[in-house]
Amino acid sequence: MSTAVGAKEISEAWLAYVSDMFMLRDGSIRPEVDEEYRRLEESDAITQERELWRSYTDTLIDAILQASSEQRGQLLSRSDPKSLVFVQERITRGTELLIGIVQQGLRIETNGTSLEAFFRQILLQSPAV
């Protein structure tokens, strides 16, 4: 069954979702993650390394999404800052995508996909199933 949902509603759900899943104190908002992000951007290495880290980033995102709340906190705190930079970049790109859709006033066809599955597609930068 096809269902159209307003992009604004999905964007609000997205922000709550990524905040809950990734923005933990010991997760991707750690100061050392921000420092590593700036270092990679300043050296222009982020674009090149993004592709080198793509498979690992996908695996890490899936592990985070499948983990219980306690396991997720432990996984994020054990993850090195560089790994979390590329997770954070995926979150940023997904946010920018949804902002663009909201600005255009579009609706998103979920085609019966749960929001969690839809958000996973955005994070993994994969086409709709």
Over range 19-42, report the average pLDDT. Answer: 85
Q: Are 75 and 67 in contact (CB under 8 A)?
A: yes
Nearby residues of 93 by Cβ (< 8 Å), 6 or more positions away: 125
Q: Please give the pLDDT value at position 111.
A: 75
Cα dihedral 9→14→15→19 (10° resolution): 150
Beta strand 107-109 with 4-6 is antiparallel
Q: 4 - beta bridge partners?
A: 109
User: What are the boundaries of each domain within the chain?
Assistant: 4-123
- Take residue 126 and report the two structure tokens written for it: 């994969």
This prediction's pTM: 0.86
- In DSSP notation, 34-45 reads HHHHHHHHHTTH
- Per the model's pLDDT, the better-predicted residue between 69 and 4 turns out to be 69
Instruction: Supply 25's token pair.
Output: 């104190």
Mean pLDDT in residue range 10-15: 90
Closest by alpha carbon to 64, among 80, 53, 75, 50?
75
pLDDT digits (tens, 9 = 90+) for 63-105: 999 999 889 989 998 999 999 999 999 999 999 999 998 888 8
